[in-house]
Amino acid sequence: MYNYTNGAEKWRSALERHLNQTDKFFPEYYRGIMTEVCEAKELCNTDQKSFKTYLSRWLGVCMQMAPWTHDIIMPRLQTSAKAAAQTCVGPSQHGAGNYACGMRWWWDGNDGVMGVGQQMTALNTITVLNVDRVPPPYTKETGGESKGDPGLGSGSVDDDLPNLHQDPVTAGDKAGAAILTMLIVGVLFGGGWWLCVE
């Protein structure tokens, strides 16, 4: 909204408040290196292992859309990217060399907690440092080609589904299904009765 309103003070203040909330992800006790709260005790679930990816990405976009944030955000990302890169010395699980990245960037070297999320976060945090060399997200005015559809989701999806039944259901099909259902129910009740009697 800050960018859309050409820097309206209302949205600058809102953005500044949101940006201040990111301080918790760059704690001083970890030398200002990006971290997730779940990392210290290894309590991160699969999703949380990739959360730093999204924070890095959107902080990068924030610098593009609100250039006044650049000098606040970029030093944090540079510190974190350097810390992330130094963890990427773990053995690959698939024999690709010693390039697997760790989870806790504030450790010296790889912490042994490796996976797809950790690779994503390190790669994205390092590559977002190129933010000054790439254009901001496209808009309709700057080359974006995405077209909106206000009616999307308002109709029935039945027409989009493939026809899985080539022939209509007949009375014989229904009778066969009924007989099969009665047989299964009979076996279940008969088996239960037999177990109780024994």
Among 69, 85, 49, 91, CA closest to 7: 69
Give yes or no for a contact between 76 and 25, defined as CB atoms under 8 angstroms apart: no
pLDDT at res. 160 = 65
pLDDT at 198 over 80: no
Q: What CA–CA distance (Å, rounded) separates 135 from 5?
A: 19
pLDDT at 162 over 70: no
Q: Which two tokens stand for residue 111?
A: 């912490």
| 151 pLDDT tier (thresholds 50, 70, 90) | confident
Dihedral sign for Cα 98, 99, 100, 101, please. Answer: positive
* Per-residue pLDDT reduced to its tens digit, 104-134: 999 999 999 999 999 999 999 999 999 999 9
List all residues 6 or more positions away from 184 whose beta carbon is below 8 Å from its beta carbon: none
Stretch among 23-27, 55-59, 65-69, 145-149 having the lowest mean pLDDT: 145-149
pLDDT at res. 165 = 61
Record the pTM.
Answer: 0.70
pLDDT at res. 81 = 97
| pLDDT (mean) for 39-63 | 94
